[in-house]
Structure 1
């Protein structure tokens, strides 16, 4: 009989961001594991990410716009085969909404080629799982869209965003995610990434940022404080709601006490592993 392997609980950028936004949202997602219905925008982002990952697996001279467009529909078909429930997003491929959705994805790929020429790049890795333990014992885990390493050893972290260029909240959330990756890489390799680059494909905009070691040390303390607060809430089940304008987009609003709802009975802590992060989490 094979032993059941329990992954040690870890902190991912998505779940850390959830707790910062609303501790109750963190509980619903990481502890209760309540289902959420994927949106068309999330799924589109997942498909576009998949296309770009496949593109960089090809020889450099094949990384051209027509190849990316050719990969789009097969990537959707594979995702649909893996997650049959996504078929509910459209009434079928003849649905005009599906046609518009596919066209938007095509425009994002076109937007990508407006930002850089992938034939001139040789990333070290795409969709890279990284994991590092901080000196305090906090375990960090996440996926990086793309890691570029120069011959001189300088590191660039690249993240594709398939939403519109960020406003105040979106930009802060995106930069939190990128600093998370920078910290993990620094702890793993002893090198502070030279650049954190967000590529907003819909708007053909880049947002680049250069962190420094002092900033990453401060960010490390922030993550340690978040994890300590999560563990305190986990022991008692006291994950409090934090209402904001983001509540209108929450799948669990009907269960929130702030809106007259009642959360399900607390299942206890720890497990399930709150470090799990899906492709849909990273597709915004």
Structure 2
């Protein structure tokens, strides 16, 4: 035995918890929703498609396809053609409403490409990045990673109904974790994160410091400790309703698991799947 030979290796190192920004956000929003999404098997039935999610996904997919093309083909016209090719009507009230928002998305994408230097070759498109910290492995998929003046820049596309601010970029745990993971995966410095809001043609920018990145990591590690303990206790036979209580509020309106949560149904009214679209 190693101890008999004079070696002391100490206790086994604690296994790092793998987390994504989506997991951390779900845990923060509602532990019950986290359990239903990531732990329950079979997974409870989800609600149908939301029109605003369809709209966002189509725009993201069109821009991904555009930057996958050679630089000389990344034109506004090509972007519009790709959006039409990606389009889906899922979640919209009817074909007329879907067509109206498709036209709106066409304008967003055309304006965005016209105002963006698409000749610059991104170093990552929908790139999966990952990094360990002392207690977690933070990973996720980044919309776009640029290389500017020797440093990586995290670009996140947004299509929501509200304009975004510098505070949104600064406070985004997802963007901070992406910056850390990108610099480890791609071996270059990364401090700048950007939210590109296509409906308003605005860009919210934040330059992180090592201290601000460290604060985001600390909060992520604390949340990971909580969700890991709850998950392990559940697996050992703990009470799922005590370990993963519902956190009710306005967010219950659009929760995918609303039909399986009586507390959520009582907390907020149901919405039609197109009611979260910008007017």
| TM-score normalised by length of structure 2 | 0.76
Q: Per-residue deviation at 1:123? A: 0.6
Structure 2: distance between partners of 1:167 and 1:242:
26
**2:126 counterpart residue number:** 127
For structure 1, the residue ranges without an aligned partner over 5 or more in a row are: 1-7, 81-85, 262-284
Q: Which residue of 2 aligns with 1:20?
A: 28
Are the structure 2 counterparts of residues 99 and 140 from structure 1 closer, same or farther at C-alpha, using a change threshold of 3 Å? same
Give 1:191 deviation, angstroms: 4.5
- Whole-angstrom distance in 1 between the partners of 2:213 and 2:169: 16
Equivalent runs, 1:75-86 vs 2, <5 Å? 75-76=86-87
Instruction: Report if the CA contact (8 A) 1:192-1:213 is conserved.
Output: no
> Is 2:217 the partner of 1:220?
yes
Aligned residues: 239
3-state SS of 2:199 partner: coil
Q: Give the CA deviation at 1:157.
A: 0.6
User: CA offset at residue 206 of structure 1?
Assistant: 0.7
Deviation, 1:156, is 0.5
The structural deviation recorded for 1:146 is 0.4
Which residue in the other structure is 2:101 paired with?
Answer: 101
Higher RCO (Cα < 8 Å, 6 or more apart): 1
Whether the 8 Å CA contact 1:114–1:204 is kept in 2: the answer is no
CA contact (8 A) 1:24 1:242 kept: yes
> Which of these residues, 122, 135, 139, is aligned with residue 141 of structure 1?
139
The residue that corresponds to 1:61 in the other structure is 72
Match of 1:244 among 245, 249, 258: 249
CA RMSD of aligned residues (A): 2.7
Structure 2 vs 1, CA of residues 246 and 111 (structure 1 numbering), >3 Å: closer, same or farther?
farther
Q: Which deviates more, 35-44 or 138-147?
A: 35-44
Cα offset, 1:189, TM superposition: 4.9
In 2: Cα distance, 1:221 partner to 1:87 partner: 38
In structure 2, list runs of 5 or more residues that go unmatched. 1-15, 235-239, 267-279
Q: Note the C-alpha offset of 1:99.
A: 1.1
Matches within 5 A, 1:247-258: 247-256=252-261, 258=263
Provide the residue aligned with 1:3 in structure 2: none
Q: How far is the alpha carbon of 1:114 from its aligned partner?
A: 5.3
CA distance in 2, matches of 1:36, 1:9: 29
2:122 counterpart SS class: coil
Q: Distance in 2 between matches of 1:177 and 1:39?
A: 22
**Could you state the TM-score of these two structures normalised by the residue count of structure 1?**
0.74
Q: C-alpha separation between the residues in 2 aligned to 1:141 and 1:256?
A: 29
Q: How does 1:30-45 map to 2 (within 5 A)?
A: 30-32=38-40, 33-34=43-44, 35-45=46-56
* Inter-partner Cα distance in structure 2 for 1:218 and 1:157: 18
